[in-house]
Amino acid sequence: MKITELREKTKEELITERRDLKQEMMNLYVQRASGQLENPARIKFVRKTLARIETLLSMKVIEASKAATAVPSPPSTVEA
């Protein structure tokens, strides 16, 4: 999955996708251990996609905390 596709998803969708990919990764490791893995490159793809999702989730948390702490300054009044 490309990063542009992932950026369009909401936080909840990313969390769901992460859960699904972790489950798939576990299944891929079991298949590899039993010698039934047909496409070894799939492990690399899933691992990198998981890293992309984790990065995006971290970025969303950081952006949310910055938005919460950014308090607009009150308008200044100048007395003449």
Domains in the chain: ranges and CATH: 12-69 (1.10.287)
If pLDDT is split at 50, 70 and 90, which confidence band does 29 have? Answer: very high
For the cut 60, the answer to whether the pLDDT of residue 80 exceeds it is no
The percentage of the chain sitting over the pLDDT mark of 90, rounded to a whole number, equals 70
Over residues 15-22, the mean pLDDT reads 97
| pLDDT for the residue numbered 59 | 93
Q: How far is CA 62 from CA 19, 46, 77, in A?
A: 21, 24, 33
For the cut 90, the answer to whether the pLDDT of residue 23 exceeds it is yes
Q: What is the pLDDT of residues 33-65, one digit of tens each?
A: 999 999 999 999 999 999 999 999 999 999 888
